[in-house]
Structure 1
Amino acid sequence: MLTDDDHPPPIGDYALIGDGTTAALVGRDGAIDWLCWPRFDSPACFAALLGTPGHGRWRIAPADAHPRIHRRYRDGTLVLETLFATPDGEVALVDFMPPGLGSSSVIRLVQGRRGRIPMRMHLLPRFDYGAVTPWITPLPDGSGLRAIAGPDMAVLRTTLPLDQRDGATTAAFTISAGETATFVLTYAASHLRPPVAVDPAAALTATEVFWSGWSTRCTYHGCYRDAVLRSLVTLKALTHAPTGGIVAAPTTSLPEQPGGSRNWDYRYCWLRDASLTLQALLHAGYTEEARAWIGWLQRSVAGRPDQLRILYGLAGERRVPEWEADWLPGYQGARPVRIGNGAAGQLQLDVFGEVSDTLHLARTSFLGGDPHAWDLQRQLVEHLETVWHLPDEGIWEVRGGRRHFTFSKIMAWVALDRAIASAETFALPAPLDRWRALRTRIHDTVCAEGFDRTLNSFTQSFGTRDLDASLLLIPQLGFLPAGDPRVAGTIAAIERTLLTDGLVRRYDTNTGQDGLPPGEGAFLACSFWLAEAMARQGRMDEARTLFERLLALCNDVGLLAEEYDPATRTQLGNFPQALTHAALIRAALVLGT
């Protein structure tokens, strides 16, 4: 077990709980080291993940320093159960966040399973990313306490006696078989009265019913159903229920390189990541989230299409300025800790393709000829007609200057192709002759400028010999079939050049062209893209071998980060990552049963 002085554990040691407004990361040691309230992108009140326990943490665990630990999610839910076994017996810690209550709560149940086990609870709330120590006072009815700082309030309710000193709240208790101790921590704005008490047992039942009912709608029943369903639940947990926005990850600044500076804030709604997430959900039978996201999209991009942003806040906010929380030492020393994301102002042409592709898929799934969605799609495509030829920062959001990225141009072709398909299928008004001509022009340009005959491969950008794993998506997107010699050459070149221990890197970071220090892990979404590309080539045995190896990289509760370090065998980057889990689902669907 970790002591309260230790640094955060490996990224893969965490599990996720959430309620559709925010999410928390729970370690194997029973510590909640990350929680932003009241939204995914709000300041954290537990930020030990990016520092020390002194930056905010809530831990419940046996007093025994070395219990045996087993974790699982209850089937089809986001209810986490951690079983601690000691020489004195066994105890289960059940962690969850009930959706739909109106106020956000973390509920922790300590259930005695065998024997008698001494337990300890240690609560150290620190608002504003660990910078602010709250004022803690007892509740008037004696049912717990409240912590207040600035606009924020967190209320802890429990029947156990609490001890408070030095800004921390603790409890020492013994749990016997058949007994349950409950802790409910609820958020509210500090100017309001303390929120109404939550019935923990009723909340647990309602939470299990919610998630189980949602999971039964999954239409995938292949041999990878468990992994697919866990990924779907994770994607649902990253959806902001009040607005329909979908975050790329619930964390910020988990490093893509141990101790490095490639640390970014992913707690926002990227059009690309959300589009790929929705495509995975739609292919698995989920349409409700797509309807909500399309409403979010229409609100967020309202106005002139030339003002399109590549990412937004959860309610469609356009300004997410990037700054550094310099008081946080970073995850295992990886600095800086960034809040906000400066990529919001970049030009990334590929987002037009991902959005158009998703709107077309939604239209064929349930929208039909919805005029509002078509008006949005048409305006975006008409703006793309004027900018597709420009250099951009690309899918990987480089900070080394704009280039003519091949994948960006391919996605411009996708935007037109899907808009044309919608107009043709649903008799929607569109300048089809002009769009068809431009679609052909873009395709010809990519094949002429983005393909290197000496390499027999498409390249990262026009006029270079660098490779890029995003080009693995060419057959999935329908730009060229998997059997085309140029596609086969590209896949082969990526396999020769961008594999590390059989896993795929996005591109060669040592060239320095991305404007960042070199070095990062293998990119898990790209590795799933390779498995899918292999399957589309008919290399099913190789595809299954790679796919199942990737599944083996999931942590003990089925979650994956953005990247993986084959040398240290650890997960890297923000966690869990929507793009990774969406790629897992798509690959599983292509692999079939």
Structure 2
Amino acid sequence: MNEETVKSHKKYYAFLSNGFTTALEYEGSIVWFPTPRMDSPSVFSHIIDDEKGGYFSVKPEEEFSHSQRYLERSLVLENSFSTKKGKLKVLDFLPLSLTGIIRIFESDIPFDVDIRPVFNYGLINPGIDVVEGGIVFKNPQSNEGIELLIQGNYEIEDGYKVSLKPGKGYLYLLHSKDLRYGLFSRKGFVYSRPYDALNKALSYWRGQISHAKKVSALQELYEVSLLIILGLTYLPSGGLIASPTTSLPEIVGSDRNWDYRYVWIRDASYGAEALIKAGLFTKARGVLRFMSSIVDPSSKSFDHPLYTVDGTMPPAEEELNWLKGHKLSKPVRIGNAAYLQVQTDVEGAFMDSLYQYMLATGQVEYVEDMWWIVEAISEWVMKSWQGKSTDIWEQRGVLEHFVHSKVMNWVALDRAWRIAEKLRYDRKEWRIEAEKIREDVLNNGISSGHLARYYGSEEVDASLLTLPIYGFIDANDELFRRTLKKIIDDLMIGRDLLLRYKTDFMGQVSHPFTLTSTWLARVYIRMGLIDDAERVLNSLASCSTDLYLIAEHLDASLCEPRGNFPQLFPHAGVVSSLIELNEMKSTMGKH
């Protein structure tokens, strides 16, 4: 695979994180910044309303060209602006442990800073104080505020605009829930010095992935994918969110807009699997610890499909009607009503990641300490698997015997039995029940010679690709081969990109779902089709952005991101796929 094929890709949002909150940036403008944590209201919300949303931009006074890159193996972003008269370089990052943004600049041309914070997703305009050294923006309804400390040769033109002359310096933005302990308070001296904070941030991110396994292809995409997984992890709890954004639409101008800034058990389990495969066991254990902490031992193991970053129930879904949406894609939503659904596949996803952790680390004692969780999940699945449920795709108001969900019930009991065997516990009843589930799927989940989306359906969906990945069926089994052909015939849209299904409760779908390409690659690896797996991964890589970031969906005709961005699903899939590809090629090389 030629990594140079992805170098010319379209510029899109850059992603910043410090494990507490996140930001998106475009051409030197911070256009998204929820604070103080990942699922908080945003003070820069330009991505969901380019008039009211607010932003924090740095750009030359003259016409310019712009390029961006991450400093090697970090989430520190370097912006380079070039004009006919000179250049401006800006290093942007979120300082560790602080709800802030630091922008260190070096310029031989004058440039402008435009800062327009608006509290609560653009609803509350700030009061403004120009103070010695910078500007303070106050929320009139609380003690909350945004402070901007400016170091350099500058002039404040009004409360929102600052002009800077050539030279070196920095812009230090800090959000405070209470300005009495902010940057300009008596306590201001305790906060990070910008240049020290830069060095610590670089050291932190590089250190996080320094012990990760190496791969032989698409190394930069692989490392960025690991950084995305780590950057989507809320450090205080280990909660791994699905995406840092809300309401970036699957289809521009449509209402397929959702808030993904929460911890989905399924998504987080995929992320844990990727970290385990990459050898980042400490980080994977943190994700597992978060999920294990919210298991209900007396009812459904995971009462909800998703949780806030602190493990509590997510807020009810609301529509922010004062915002016009990303490119007029309304409504803008916060919260997610999927928490009302009963999704029966998530226990299997968690159980598999726990089992993979035990196999990879040999830490039997750790898993034994979680035995009560293994028992709780198994007891729930034993008595619930025969019912209908919502599926992996979270269709609202749709309950069926989905084949993928049934198989994940099988996974839960199969992995539980294997863990029990490792711990020398006798739980043969779990294995027996798992076989009953297998028989049920093979008796009722086949239509016209292929596995179906749900019992009685003729359709397929892309989640059927996971069956050989989880070991439910061999990838070269004739039944699965027919299923794979049906999936490719019905769901592939060029470039080895797949729709997840043709239609759902909202009607016809339009764009490929990026996770499915990584599933397809993993299936090809299990079939021994290495060239095909490489082609699929290269195709997905070719539609990543200039920074190797991948959204939930892609517009296949334009090779452009769609939906929330960046997305945990495809980046976790990239890591798992590339590790498996590396291992398969190594094994084949030995023979």
Q: Same fold (TM over 0.5)?
A: yes
Residue 448 (structure 1) aligns with? 443
Matched, 1:561 2:536: no
- 1:201-221 CA-to-partner distances (Å, cap 9, x unmatched) read 111111111111112111123
1:49 shift after superposition: 0.3
Percent pairwise identity = 31
- 1:51 maps to which of 49, 52, 73: 49
Q: Distance in 1 between matches of 2:571 and 2:219?
A: 13
Q: Distance in 2 between matches of 1:191 and 1:376?
A: 43
Residue 577 (structure 1) aligns with? 567
Q: Distance in 2 between matches of 1:182 and 1:53?
A: 27
Residue 234 (structure 1) aligns with? 228
Aligned-partner residue type, residue 96 of structure 2? P
Q: Distance in 1 between matches of 2:157 and 2:306?
A: 42
Counterpart secondary structure, 1:331? coil
1:302 shift after superposition: 4.5
Aligned-partner residue type, residue 588 of structure 1? L
What is the 5 A alignment of 1:407-418?
407-418=404-415
Residue 395 (structure 1) aligns with? 392
Matched, 1:474 2:498: no
Matched, 1:111 2:106: yes
8 Å Cα contact 1:300-1:315 kept in structure 2: no
8 Å Cα contact 2:157-2:163 kept in structure 1: no
8 Å Cα contact 1:400-1:516 kept in structure 2: no
TM superposition score normalised by structure 1: 0.92
Matched, 1:90 2:87: yes
1:30 shift after superposition: 0.8
Q: Distance in 1 between matches of 2:217 and 2:117?
A: 43
Q: Distance in 2 between matches of 1:410 and 1:491?
A: 16
Residue 378 (structure 1) aligns with? 375
Structure 1 residues 521 and 12: CA distance shift in structure 2, 3 A: farther
Q: Distance in 1 between matches of 2:574 and 2:211?
A: 18
- 2:124 maps to which of 128, 132, 141: 132
Matched, 1:187 2:187: no
Structure 2: gaps spanning 5 or more residues: 1-8, 586-591
Shifted more, 380-389 versus 219-228: the winner is 219-228
Residue 162 (structure 2) aligns with? 171
Matched, 1:15 2:14: yes
Residue 38 (structure 2) aligns with? 40
8 Å Cα contact 2:297-2:373 kept in structure 1: no
Counterpart secondary structure, 1:54? coil
Aligned-partner residue type, residue 273 of structure 1? D
1:487 shift after superposition: 1.1
Aligned-partner residue type, residue 193 of structure 1? Y
Residue 487 (structure 1) aligns with? 480
Q: Distance in 2 between matches of 1:556 and 1:132?
A: 34
Q: Distance in 1 between matches of 2:203 and 2:196?
A: 11
8 Å Cα contact 1:77-1:215 kept in structure 2: no
1:554 shift after superposition: 1.0
Q: Distance in 2 between matches of 1:17 and 1:180?
A: 22
What is the 5 A alignment of 1:314-463?
314-366=309-361, 367-370=363-366, 371-427=368-424, 429=425, 432-452=427-447, 454=448, 456-463=449-456
Shifted more, 372-381 versus 409-418: the winner is 372-381
8 Å Cα contact 2:297-2:377 kept in structure 1: no
Q: Distance in 1 between matches of 2:383 and 2:554?
A: 39
8 Å Cα contact 2:239-2:287 kept in structure 1: yes
- 1:75-108 CA-to-partner distances (Å, cap 9, x unmatched) read 11000001111111222111001223xx322001
- 2:242 maps to which of 237, 248, 255: 248
Counterpart secondary structure, 1:547? helix
Shifted more, 416-425 versus 289-298: the winner is 289-298
TM superposition score normalised by structure 2: 0.92
Shifted more, 373-382 versus 126-135: the winner is 373-382
Q: Distance in 2 between matches of 1:308 and 1:264?
A: 21
Shifted more, 10-19 versus 76-85: the winner is 10-19
Residue 543 (structure 1) aligns with? 533
Structure 1 residues 180 and 303: CA distance shift in structure 2, 3 A: farther
Which consecutive aligned stretches of 4+ in structure 1 deviate over 4 angstroms post-superposition?
A: none
8 Å Cα contact 1:312-1:320 kept in structure 2: no
Residue 298 (structure 1) aligns with? 292
- 1:555-576 CA-to-partner distances (Å, cap 9, x unmatched) read 1111000000112332100000
Q: Distance in 2 between matches of 1:44 and 1:26?
A: 13
1:318 shift after superposition: 1.3
Structure 1: gaps spanning 5 or more residues: 1-9
Aligned-partner residue type, residue 115 of structure 2? L
- 1:52-94 CA-to-partner distances (Å, cap 9, x unmatched) read 14311000011123x2222111111000001111111222111
Residue 62 (structure 1) aligns with? 60
Counterpart secondary structure, 2:148? strand
Structure 1 residues 422 and 24: CA distance shift in structure 2, 3 A: same
1:303 shift after superposition: 5.4
8 Å Cα contact 2:305-2:346 kept in structure 1: yes
Aligned-partner residue type, residue 53 of structure 2? H
1:12 shift after superposition: 5.7
Shifted more, 229-238 versus 312-321: the winner is 312-321
Q: Distance in 1 between matches of 2:247 and 2:156?
A: 34
Aligned-partner residue type, residue 355 of structure 1? F
Aligned-partner residue type, residue 210 of structure 1? Y
Q: Distance in 2 between matches of 1:364 and 1:543?
A: 25
Structure 1 residues 222 and 465: CA distance shift in structure 2, 3 A: same
Residue 589 (structure 2) aligns with? none
8 Å Cα contact 2:80-2:87 kept in structure 1: yes
8 Å Cα contact 2:10-2:545 kept in structure 1: no
8 Å Cα contact 1:37-1:187 kept in structure 2: yes
8 Å Cα contact 1:45-1:128 kept in structure 2: yes
- 1:231-287 CA-to-partner distances (Å, cap 9, x unmatched) read 001100000001110100000011111111111100000000000001001100111
Counterpart secondary structure, 1:557? coil
What is the 5 A alignment of 1:582-593?
582-592=572-582
8 Å Cα contact 1:92-1:110 kept in structure 2: yes
Q: Distance in 2 between matches of 1:410 and 1:500?
A: 26
8 Å Cα contact 2:314-2:336 kept in structure 1: no
Counterpart secondary structure, 1:460? coil
Q: Distance in 2 between matches of 1:506 and 1:297?
A: 26
